Amino acid sequence: MKKVIFIGPPAAGKTTLRRFFFEGIPADLLMKRQEPPSIGLKHEVFEYLFMYPVEKKKHSPEKVPFKLALVDTSGQEMEKWVTTQRKEVFSGTDIVFFIFDLGEWGDPARRQFICDYIWFVLKTRNEIAPSALLFILAHKYDKVAGKKGDVNATRRDVTEGIKEYLFKKKELVIELNVSVTSLHKSFRNHTFSTMLDLITDSMQDLMG
């Protein structure tokens, strides 16, 4: 069984993204209701992956056997996940998803906050689970879609921004895997395909 963790700042959309992809809950339903903030660590075991996103409750998606242990972390308690309780979160981890709200990327102070935590997550991953794969999801693309042009341009902008920060502040040169996601109707199929590709490709890399 492979261990996957979702980590990131509060209100980044970690829980809704997890429920959309792993639980097959319709995106429209998730976007209409506000998920309560996660508390502590939420551990779940999934024995399948869905082959396509669910749009209506009555439809049952095809399930493919795929066993994963997933840990969803509280954004409000993010500091301790990379300090006092980092071993509890990162030990034995195979895949790390760092998720942040792309709507905050244009604010210099919030951008630095996001990059700081990416550094902490990267450092913790390197020390506790060095073989784990790290994926960065710039979520809620619909907030900036009209301003940024297209998904690929936004992804490049975010990737270069993080790399520049890591080089200037930490003298670190590293390749990053950044994806842009959203549960908005115009982008959810892209999001589902992105998540599916990341998970399935990761399993091949980890098992290879």
Q: Which of 92, 104, 102, 167 is nearest to 132 (CA)?
A: 92
pLDDT of residue 157: 94
Average pLDDT over residues 41-53: 80
How confident is the model at residue 206, as a pLDDT?
A: 63
- Token pair recorded at residue 66: 């795929």
Residue 5: its pLDDT value, please? Answer: 96
For the stretch 74-123, pLDDT in tens is 999 989 999 999 999 999 999 999 999 999 999 999 999 999 999 999 99
- Give the pLDDT of residue 81: 94
Domains of the chain: 2-207 (3.40.50.300)
Q: In the predicted model, what is the mean pLDDT of the chain? A: 88
Q: Are 95 and 18 in contact (CB under 8 A)?
A: no
Residue 25 has a pLDDT of 83
User: How far does Cα 66 stand from its chain's mean position?
Assistant: 19
pTM of the model: 0.91
The three state secondary structure string of 45-56 is EEEEEECCCCCC
pLDDT at 54: 58
- The pLDDT score that the predictor gives to residue 111 is 96
